[in-house]
Amino acid sequence: MNEDEIITSLKNRFGERVHNSKIAKPRRVYVEVDASIIREALSYMRGSLGFDHLSTITGLDSEERIELIYHIVCGNSIVVSMKTNVLKTNPKIGSISDIYVTAELYEREVYDLLGVRFEEHPNLSRLILPEDWPENLHPLRKEATLEQIKSRLSMNGDGINERFND
Amino acid sequence: MSGSMIKVVIGPQHPALKEPERFIIEVEGEQVVQVTPRIGYVHRGIEKAMENRTYIQNLYLAERICGICSHAHTTCYVQAVEDLLSIEAPPRAKYIRTVIAELERIHSHLLWLGILAHEVGFDTFFMYVWRDREVIMDLLEEISGNRVNYAMNTIGGVRRDLDQEKISKILKGLEVIEEKAKKYIQMIQKEPTILKRTVGVGYLSSIDAVRYNAVGPLARASGVKRDVRKDDPYIAYDDISFNIVTRDEGDCFSRMMIRAEEILESINIVREALSKLPVGDISVKTRLVIPPSETVSRVEAPRGELIHYARSNGTDKPERYKIRAPTLANLKALCKMLTGIYLADVPVILAGIDPCFSCMDRMQIIDCEKKEKQSWTLDDLRRYAREWYQKH
């Protein structure tokens, strides 16, 4: 299956909920889908189009929305970057950790750094940040300044003994 | 449940190796029931830092993502930036990048072979391998001026050329390593210490390797034929003939053999690249401001698929730069392999994925019944493992 056929199959299956598709160069495909169909779209890609590998999930702050990019690979060759976005004021989306096992870790990373909540995630807890990191400081959001992050980090060590007692 | 469930906390502090990591391992008697990894102890916020620095400054950050495979990261980085700029490095630069990449793979695999030998208690082998690795380190220093963080890549090409003298030194060094690597392969297959501790240990089926999205030598040791160099070729790999080494055993022995055999493949790649080295410039001039665009860049690092995603916004700094190193990709597969095995096999299997974190000096053993704590060091665990194997 080549790049064109992948886009065509996606469009045939999901119609207008798939937009802005492009083939940037050989083996690099970008496509946007509505947030409501992300789980359906990814399980279709995995189940029917042979995209058995999730390379990673990129989260990115674009003004009032958080963009999520799922980089999935077919035959270790064609990379489809499937994009969707959620509102920054209520960043919620369905977890795909039942479709791609490794998504469990990548979703926790996005949760940590951008504050997106993945619904039905088996264990949406801190992966990178300390357990006592404040809920409202998301380091990769544009409004989080280096000074804020630095001053928070300099406090580290507080409460560390309690954490090890459980 | 016999009530003997014990939580063994491995990591995160480690005085000797870099990059800490913590695993909470629940054991029932000798058997591991569940594994929970916790990372982030050395998260340096590089992605955020990159958004605040220019593309040129970020080159130096990319070089420092990893101390072992720094060239893989800069190759992935410059490839991404060159793609955003719609430029291409000259052919000679691509070939030089390939030569460095394979020399890096050789020293990385040698380093790992030594570590695994150390884990199984075969320190003589560890010392032989690390002694021989110096041949490659010296070559890299000769070429780039540095043993690590070679700083060969730049946006639009490479920073140093290879002259005839350096080429003949590389070829000479490769002869030494080739002979040694062949010896290692024989040793691995015959040496009882290695066989006893690695054959059948840490099994990962090919179905699970795909299911858990394993990458690199870990996937190839389970019979999954995946290699970004072949499947999604970059730099000069398209023009060079080489084999993807795979094996079907899916255990730690297989992972050892894969890396040893890949060293031989890498030697051939370097030889072919040097024999075909195109003449011409080694870099092109570039702009420093990049129009809005985006790109996905992939590289086969020594530990497997490395992926970077970059988005530019019309300034001299990226809007977003995302990095996913191979060890994170292999973490789920690692937890799968650790489940159901003997505690004594944990160090070998942990080391078996060639983790680019090195975790686990301090261990806490918590008896859930008595709530008693006891701390172990990695040496304690190693000793425990060796004694356990002497008894069984």
Interface touch A53/B210, C-beta < 8 Å: yes
Same domain, A51 and A95: yes
**What is the spatial distance between Cα B212 and Cα B322, in angstroms, rounded to a whole number?**
21
Same domain, A149 and A118: no
> Residue A105's closest CA among B19, B38, B339, B208?
B38
Same domain, A49 and A122: yes
Chain B positions touching A81 (Cβ under 8 A) are 296, 309
Render pLDDT for B93-115 as a digit per residue (tens, 0 to 9): 999 999 999 999 999 999 999 98
Q: CB under 8 Å to B65, separation ≥6 — which residues?
A: B46, B73, B323, B325
Same domain, A154 and A97: no
Q: Is-cis flag, bond preceding B192, omega within 30?
A: no
Q: Is the dihedral of CA B336, B337, B339, B340 positive or negative?
A: positive
The SS3 assignment for B16 reads coil
Residue A33 corresponds to which tokens in the numbers above?
Answer: 């889908």
pTM of the model: 0.90
Same domain, A76 and A23: yes
Same domain, A84 and A163: no
Measure the CA angle with vertex B75, ends B155 and B278; round to 5°: 75
Q: Could you tell me the CATH number of the domain that includes residue A37? A: 3.30.460.80
Same domain, A7 and A75: yes
Q: Which residues of B38-73 are buried (b: 16+ CB within 10 A; e: fewer)?
A: bbbbeeeebbbebbebebeebbebbbebbebbbbbb
Q: Are strands A117-119 and A92-94 parallel, antiparallel or unpaired?
A: parallel
Same domain, A113 and A155: no
The SS3 assignment for B35 reads strand
**What is the spatial distance between Cα B346 and Cα B338, in angstroms, rounded to a whole number?**
7
How many Å lie between the alpha carbon of B311 and the closest alpha carbon of chain A? 10
**What is the spatial distance between Cα B343 and Cα B338, in angstroms, rounded to a whole number?**
9
**What is the spatial distance between Cα B367 and Cα B365, in angstroms, rounded to a whole number?**
7
Same domain, A57 and A69: yes
Same domain, A93 and A37: yes
Question: Which ranges in chain B are annotated with CATH 1.10.645.10?
Answer: 46-324
Who among B39, B210, B211 is closest to A128 (CB)? B39
Q: State the complex-level ipTM.
A: 0.92
Taking residue B336's Cβ as centre, other Cβ atoms within 10 Å add up to 20
User: Which residues constitute the domain of residue A134?
Assistant: 129-166
How many Å lie between the alpha carbon of A23 and the closest alpha carbon of chain B? 11
Who among B47, B52, B296 is closest to A79 (CB)? B296
How many Å lie between the alpha carbon of B392 and the closest alpha carbon of chain A? 34
How many A×B Cβ pairs under 8 Å?
A: 87
Same domain, A32 and A87: yes
Same domain, A140 and A123: no
Interface touch A55/B45, C-beta < 8 Å: no
Domain total for chain A? 2
Instruction: Show pLDDT as tens, one digit a residue, over chain A (166 residues).
Output: 899 999 999 999 999 999 999 999 999 999 999 999 999 999 999 999 999 999 999 999 998 999 999 999 999 999 999 999 999 999 999 999 999 999 999 999 999 999 999 999 999 999 888 888 888 899 999 999 999 988 887 775 554 444 444 4
Q: Does the B46-324 domain belong in CATH 2.60.120.460?
A: no
